[in-house]
Amino acid sequence: MIGTVLGNRYELLEKVGVGGMAVVYKATDKLLNRHVAVKLLRSEFQGNEEFIRRFNIESQAAASLSHPNIVSIYDVGQSGDMHYIVMEFIEGKTLKEYIAERKGNIYWKEATDIAMQICSALEHAHSKHIIHRDIKPQNIMINTENVIKVTDFGIARAASGGTLTMEAMGSAHYLSPEQARGGYTDQRSDIYSFGVLLYELYTGQLPFDGDTTVAVAMQHMQSEPVKPCRIKEDLPRSIESIILKAMSKEQRLRYESAGLMLSDIKKAYTDPDSIVKSDEEEEDKFGTKKITPIVNITIPGDGGSGKNVVRRTDEDRIKKKKSNKKDTVAIVAAAVTCVIVAIIMGVIVAKVVSKPQEVTVFEMPHVKGMTEAEMTKALQSLRDEGFEIEEIYEFDRNVKKGEVIDQEPKMGQIEKDVKIVITISSGKEKINLDDYTNAPLEEAITSLENMGLIVKTSQEMSDEIEEGKVIRQLPSAGHVLETGDSIRLFVSSGPNKFALDSYVGSELSEAKAELELQGVEVTVTEEYNNTVPKGVIISQSPAPGTEMMKGSKVTLTVSLGVEIITVPTLMDLTVDAARDALTNKKLKLGEVTEISSGKAKGLIVKQSIAPDTQVQANTAVDIWVSKGAETAPAMNTAPEAAGNDGNTSDTGL
């Protein structure tokens, strides 16, 4: 398959992975000149309608997802009998490889950062009603910038209402109990597999292992894992609680959603000593006391009747023997204490008996992520019952204004008079810019970043402002920004000189404006480029770091984007004429093949790319040239009696 071009666009370069349904190749997108990953349905399944159906489900499911921690889908196609998906190519390694390289020695905060990215991806997928069903470190990629990418939705399925699987799918070591027994699966099945993944990420070990997949699956259904803190003693208890809650055997005891789990993970990251309660603990609110058994023995009496006496156990006899040794003072004190306790207990019991109370419980809905109006409607019945509901507003750059950030208590049963606290997003925080003119650069950066702004800097010369201090700022003082916005500080490089910044990769308009503000004369040249988007700077002269002065000149070369050429008609031209026509169009002459044709020898009868087709510059066009019509073999029709050599005389007589 190496070298095959799919859809006249994607050239397969090398095999990079093999899955249960497909083979993954690294490929080149010849139109956009970039590397992509092509997932090609395996040849043995090309004629299998069920596998093709699953393959199409994968493409439709994955294409509907748009998240920084989920691999992007670029294209879906079919070439002959071959079905394929084109997706983002990740330069990096799998999480399984990363864990193996680190040999289980991953600092818990680094592991938690990875966990938050994966959980965020699951939250997005579940919000689209898509369950992954094969969460494992082999399906998690880490790119060269340490960004997590969840891959392979090969067995994902629309999850509306859940699906009763007819067979356990996924990998045995990360399989949820319900998948192992072919039961009802939903988003909590992904949460279980994610919990197993976290167990391995934090400890370097799998919770269950065995010689066969059946043995491993049985452990998932029946066995409890060794607690993670017994393997990694420095692991926070909050992290252990999150893992074990996610790995609960019963679906109802796991996290209800990836969003709730993500909230606990974030809390544990900032506060490792936070308490994460399991649903089982919340349900079992009253402890169970162990009572020493009393042994009843029936002793036969007169007339066949019997009576029951209470025999002391050995433990009681030992206690009595020890108590006999106590002095009189201790006995008196104990007796007095018993009397006081009995009186107090009698009063309490009398009150309870005289005024019996029943505990009424109410259902707290899950309102996190709702709008303020939706939340108000959902809590109306509790408000009518007299519950106190406090609404707190906080700035949050990641949650839209008016949406619920958090709730306390969480979803589930609550008792009367519990105070309900709802945290609502006020959106991004508004920041009224101060004037940082003449401020030291480091102090200005620290102040602005603490307010949640992104700081960019440029140098320019100044005769008035001391080197290393801010000359001016964009936007200027008094402007109102939001958290996450950018501000540029122009820093003094001293009088009469400054170091030229690098503008390669920047937009022309932005770079030109900055340079002109520094008194630099800008010259712009343009050229086509297959890799740099249109309007982005390809190169600059002089190079970054060059010492500049006011009035200096800088040349910026800007990309015109990919040059698209219309293929000319080569039919009936000679080879030389075709070469000239292609060269004039910035195209190349490819292979030349001679074939028999009714056309005159030397004329082109066929070309590999049809006329008026648009292609990239420097594309090669193959041609087929006529070598004339094939002639029939000559037949000897001369009379045998025409002389010894068969020729007639010069006179023709």
Q: Is the dihedral of CA 513, 515, 517, 523 positive or negative?
A: negative
Q: Taking phi first (over 0 means left), then psi (-120 to 50 degrees means alpha), and beta for anything else, what does residue 514 get?
A: alpha
DSSP letters spanning 311-360? EPPHHHHHHHHHHTTS-HHHHHHHHHHHHHHHHHHHHHHHHHHHS-----
What's the CA gap between 278 and 242, in Å, rounded? 8
Phi first, then psi, for residue 114 (nearest 5°) are -65, -45
What's the CA gap between 241 and 224, in Å, rounded? 14
Best CA proximity match to 28, nearest among 16, 12, 17? 12
What's the CA gap between 281 and 439, in Å, rounded? 55
Which residue(s) pair with 337 in the sheet?
A: none
Q: How far is CA 463 from the centre of its chain?
A: 50
Six-digit token pair at 504?
């390669």
- Cβ-count burial of 122 within 10 angstroms (0-12 exposed, 13-18 middle, 19+ buried)? buried
Q: List Cα–Cα distances, 359 to 286, 410, 415, in angstroms.
A: 13, 19, 7
Phi first, then psi, for residue 402 (nearest 5°) are 90, -5
| Contact between 246 and 195 (Cβ < 8 Å) | yes
239 three-class SS: helix
- Write down the H helix ranges in 78-182: 95-102, 108-127, 177-180
- Cβ-count burial of 266 within 10 angstroms (0-12 exposed, 13-18 middle, 19+ buried)? middle
The set of catalytic residues is: 134
One-letter identity of residue 629: A
| Contact between 162 and 179 (Cβ < 8 Å) | no
Residue pointed to by tokens 């070439």: 79
Helix (H) or strand (E) holding 141: strand 140-143
How many beta carbons lie within 10 A of that of residue 107, not counting itself?
A: 11
| Contact between 217 and 175 (Cβ < 8 Å) | yes
